[in-house]
Amino acid sequence: MTNAAKLDALIAREQDRFLKLHPRSAKAWAEGRQHFLYGGPSHWMRRWAGGFPVYVEDAGGAHIRDIDGHDYVDFCLGDTGAMCGHAPEAVTQAALRQLKRGATTMLPTEDSLWVGAELSRRFGPRYWTLTTSATDANRGAIRIARMITGRPKVLVFSGCYHGGIEEAHIEIRDGRVGMRNSIHPNAVDHAAVSRIVEFNDVGGLEAALSHGDVACVLAEPLMTNFGMIPVAPGFHEALRDITRRTGTVLIIDETHTLSSGPGGYTQLYGLDPDILVAGKAIAGGIPAGLFGLSAEMAERMWKLVPFANPRQRQSAHLGIGGTLAGNALTVATMRAVLESVLTAENYEHMIANATRLAGQVRVLIANQRLPWHVTQIGARAEIMFMPEPPRNGADVIAQRNGDLEMLLHAFYMNEGILVTPFHTMLLMCPATTPGDVDRHTSVFERFIALLREAGL
């Protein structure tokens, strides 16, 4: 039997075990498919390696219980949306308080004053706008970059993901630009609106920005959506320098890298983006995102769209949606997160657990002489089935072992571990314990044994 056939057989076995372990979820999924376009209320919910998702009975802290009665240590944490942990008390109380006083009015509450000041304390002084998601925050930031520069294109790095952003749905494969993950091109002329280069490629970036038609670079500080791709020394300095020299707006998307510390990677490494974006966990699971403009960007915006004065009868419409954005509920829960949950003290605890997990897994990998590695940044760790951390998307494409990932993920679910389906990223929340980490380590050890038994 070839290795590929052995892997296939193991995946089939784990999926069969998954079906037997989860009869109620299987039934619910069959029913859901009669009413939802892709089975669940969000199309993302169909992508689990067991073959269908488990239905959640309840979630608390770092654990989820499904309707078949299984307990999971949750390292997926809603793909970062629940980095505060499930049902964190401060957020729950703030939400309940605010729900009783009105969730959404299109008027500000005084909590927003505290939130604005705290965001500037963490991420640097900026002028903030709240949105309902990180996708929306990126869309708003891109629109503003185009308004300010009058240029059409958005530059992204191959292997990126920034939400439902048409301009960013492309990748470089075998030297050619195409759609990432077989995403439908949606009648968008990507040649007209996008540019793409490999991450960490200073020369490529310089060349791509030299045409003067790029409004903004949209980048994560290090890449987290194609496995984790660390940033090369000096790349951020070069990125800032080239974008400044070419008049290109630099948008740093901290949606995932908020796991680096209280002020994200930006605060930790002193980055200086023109626009900073965050989302997901920022309001403790209540839908929210945000973007913040530097003072210089804000001045340029106010020249284009003056600060509202109803008497001027001037259109102040920004073309950015969000009726529910920045509403009282979002702001109250964001305040609770910043005041009581994503605190320096909790980050210390989360990072210690990520360090524990990365360390233990590295020992297992080294002892078995496996050609794998673990990357850790702050409270987040990633196990990758390749010997060295990738330098860019091309390295991931060349070396990734998708079948092995699928087998691991199906095995994880059968053994009570949850990770985000798309790659093996493990995230800690304040409620994650060393015992939870050790449970993962022992499951990972059994996974290695499973491969050995199969002669893989």
Nearer to ligand PMP, 15 or 330 (CB): 330
Interaction between residue 163 and ligand PMP (CB under 6 A): yes
Interaction between residue 161 and ligand PMP (CB under 6 A): yes
3-state secondary structure 380-430: EEEEECCCCCCCCHHHHHHHCCHHHHHHHHHHHHHCCEECCCCCCEEECCC
Interaction between residue 133 and ligand PMP (CB under 6 A): yes
Interaction between residue 253 and ligand PMP (CB under 6 A): yes
Residue of 169, 280, 423, 440 that binds ligand PMP (CB under 6 A): 280
Interaction between residue 340 and ligand PMP (CB under 6 A): no
String of DSSP letters for 101-114: T-S--SS--THHHH
Residue of 134, 242, 251, 342 that binds ligand PMP (CB under 6 A): 134
DSSP assigned state of 286? B
Contact segment (CB under 6 A) with ligand PMP among 29-37, 226-234, 253-261, 300-308 equals: 253-261
Contact segment (CB under 6 A) with ligand PMP among 62-70, 133-141, 173-181, 190-198 equals: 133-141
Nearer to ligand PMP, 169 or 256 (CB): 256
Cβ atoms of 363 and 372 closer than 8 Å: no
Cβ atoms of 305 and 318 closer than 8 Å: yes
Interaction between residue 382 and ligand PMP (CB under 6 A): no
Nearer to ligand PMP, 154 or 364 (CB): 154
Nearer to ligand PMP, 277 or 451 (CB): 277
Residue of 40, 279, 285, 390 that binds ligand PMP (CB under 6 A): 279
Nearer to ligand PMP, 26 or 379 (CB): 379
Q: How many residues bind ligand PMP (CB under 6 A)?
A: 15
Across the chain, how many H-helices and E-strands are there? 15, 16
Interaction between residue 135 and ligand PMP (CB under 6 A): yes
Burial per residue of 302-315, b for 16 or more beta-carbon CB atoms within 10 angstroms, e otherwise? eeeeeeeeeeeeee
Burial (Cβ within 10 Å: 0-12, 13-18, ≥19) of residue 41: exposed
Contact segment (CB under 6 A) with ligand PMP among 155-163, 342-350, 373-381, 434-442 equals: 155-163
Interaction between residue 151 and ligand PMP (CB under 6 A): no
Least distance from ligand PMP to the Cβ atom of residue 456, Å: 30
Nearer to ligand PMP, 225 or 294 (CB): 225
Which 55-84 positions form the footprint of ligand PMP (CB under 6 A)? 79
Least distance from ligand PMP to the Cβ atom of residue 152, Å: 21
Reference 216, options 249, 245, 243; nearest CA is: 249
Reference 144, options 294, 4, 259, 280; nearest CA is: 294
Contact segment (CB under 6 A) with ligand PMP among 132-140, 177-185, 193-201, 396-404 equals: 132-140
Burial (Cβ within 10 Å: 0-12, 13-18, ≥19) of residue 4: exposed
Neighbours of 275 (CB within 10 A): 27
Residues in the chain: 456
Residue of 129, 200, 255, 376 that binds ligand PMP (CB under 6 A): 255
Sign of CA dihedral 68, 71, 74, 77: positive
String of DSSP letters for 209-274: HTTS-EEEEEE-SSB-SSS-BPPPTTHHHHHHHHHHHTT-EEEEE-TTGGGGSTTHHHHHHT---S
| Residue 195-234 contact track with ligand PMP, rule CB under 6 A, x = bound | -------------------------x----x---------
Least distance from ligand PMP to the Cβ atom of residue 256, Å: 5
Least distance from ligand PMP to the Cβ atom of residue 328, Å: 21
Least distance from ligand PMP to the Cβ atom of residue 225, Å: 5
Give Rg (Cα) of the chain: 22
Tokens of 298: 């804000």
Tokens of 145: 């970059």
Nearer to ligand PMP, 160 or 365 (CB): 160
The half-sphere exposure of 39 on its side-chain side, counting CA atoms within 13 A, is 17
List contacts with ligand PMP (CB under 6 A): 79, 133-135, 138, 161-163, 220, 225, 253, 255-256, 279-280
